[in-house]
Structure 1
Amino acid sequence: MFFKKVIIEIDGGIHALQIEYDQIREAILMEMGYKIIRFKNEDVLNNWKKLRKI
C-alpha cells in the first residue's frame, strides 16, 4: 500500500501575522517529504464545491 505525505493548510486571518513562522515550518515539512496544499479560508467557505475537485 502506498501513502503520500500530504498536508492541507487553510489560511485565515491569522496567517498574515505569522508568515515567517509558516515559511520556516513549510520548509521543514517539505524537507521531510510532505507536500503542502494551501487554500484561503474564504475559498473553503465560499467555493468548496470547486475545491473538492482538486
Structure 2
Amino acid sequence: MPSIITLCRELRQKQTPAENLLWQVLRNRAFMGKKFLRQHPICVKSSMGRNQYYIPDFYCDEAKLVIEADGPVHLYKKEYDKNRDEVLKSLGLTILRFTNEKIVTDMASVLTTIGNACR
C-alpha cells in the first residue's frame, strides 16, 4: 500500500482540467493572499484510535476551508462524501463543493463563493 504522501503526489499529477483551472487561480497566494494547498492530507483519529486521512482537492488552513471539485464519480459516492464532510466539519472546517462544469463555465461565481468563505 502506498504512503499517504505518495498517494497525494499521484492525485496532484492526475488532476482534472477543472482542478487545474482552479489551481491556476489559487496557487502561490494569488487569491486574496491566502495559502492554498492541493491534495493535502488531513489526519483524523478514528474512534478505534487509528489515523484516518482525508485528501481534499484544495485546502486553506488560514481560512479553515476545504474546496472540492466534483466530477461524475461523485454521483456514485454521495454517502461517502456526506460522511467525509461531516467529519471535516467537526474539525471546524468549511467545505465548498463545485461541479467540474461549474468551475469551467462559471469561474467568477466560484471565486466569489470562495472569497466569501475566506473572509
Deviation >4 Å, runs of 4+: none
Question: Which sections of structure 1, spanning at least 5 residues, go unmatched?
Answer: none
Q: Distance in 2 between matches of 1:15 and 1:21?
A: 9
RMSD of aligned Cα (Å):
1.1
User: Does 1:20 pair with 2:44?
Assistant: no
Question: Which sections of structure 2, spanning at least 5 residues, go unmatched?
Answer: 1-61, 114-119
**Percentage of pairs with the same residue:** 33
Structure having greater relative contact order (Cα 8 Å, sep ≥ 6)? 1
User: Does 1:30 pair with 2:89?
Assistant: yes
Q: Could you state the TM-score of these two structures normalised by the residue count of structure 2? A: 0.41
Structure label with greater radius of gyration = 2
Mean CA deviation greater in 23-32 or 41-50: 41-50
Mean CA deviation greater in 44-53 or 13-22: 44-53
The 5 Å alignment of 1:1-54 reads 3-54=62-113
Deviations, residues 1-54 of structure 1 (Å, cap 9, x unaligned): xx2210001111000110000001000000011000111110101111332233
Structure 1 partner of 2:36: none
